Structure 1
Amino acid sequence: MEEGMNNYILFLRNETIDFSSYSPEESQKIMSDFDKWNTEMIKEGLLIASGSLQGGEGRTFRAGNIVTDGPYSEAKEVVTGFLMIQANDLDHASEIASKSPFLPRGGSVEVRPIPQMEFEDAALAIITAHANARKANNG
């Protein structure tokens, strides 16, 4: 993580967007808009990771060995994608989220900070040391 920057996760949610109802031209425009948004974040060194989520596939686990099919909660909006970004602060992360091509199409973007954990650097050092040891033993 760049000095002075914080990590945030952006959850892309929707309730009403039916992408299958778009024409091929509209679908291409949507993909182009997302590519531009992602490319802008990459150029600025802000995008860490992103992905879309499969519609109704998945499982939800709850205490008591309860497993339900689907990623559904009681909420009407479903998380359909995410982005992990670096930003100066919550206002900066919100500014980035406000440019999402998802918004004018009826979606919403939730911005949440990811706290810096003190053990992250130590964990990374341990993982790196183990990887180097495996490499040395196999090489």
Structure 2
Amino acid sequence: MTTALKHLQWALQALASPAEVQLRLHPPFVSILDELVLDFDCWFHVAASETEFTLEQQAALSALEKCIVEWSGPPHADVWMEAALKSHPVWFDFRMLAAEALVALGWPVEHPPIDPAVRGTTFLQASFDPAR
């Protein structure tokens, strides 16, 4: 499995996971919800550039992407608040679509590795010095 496909698998597993798991995948100083969908968007497009997905796989991945795009932007700001992970119906849709994509790709519907280092991810917290 290529690096891009492995990262896509983990991104889909992260999106398919329950809120309690999703909240543990990223440090608290990042926008966790943004990271979840940005990881999928990035690795979906990288993998698509080097992989020929079947029609079923492409349809499942595109359905998730379309749903995310439809719920993005200022009119849907409530979807991107951390509390929405546990309660907003669209996050249940994201999870279902991600699980369907995993099945279409023949990958296990399970949690990704919790440790970002295992996933090859590094998060840096910038400090802000207002005196500068």
TM-score, length-scaled by structure 2: 0.31
Higher strand share: 1
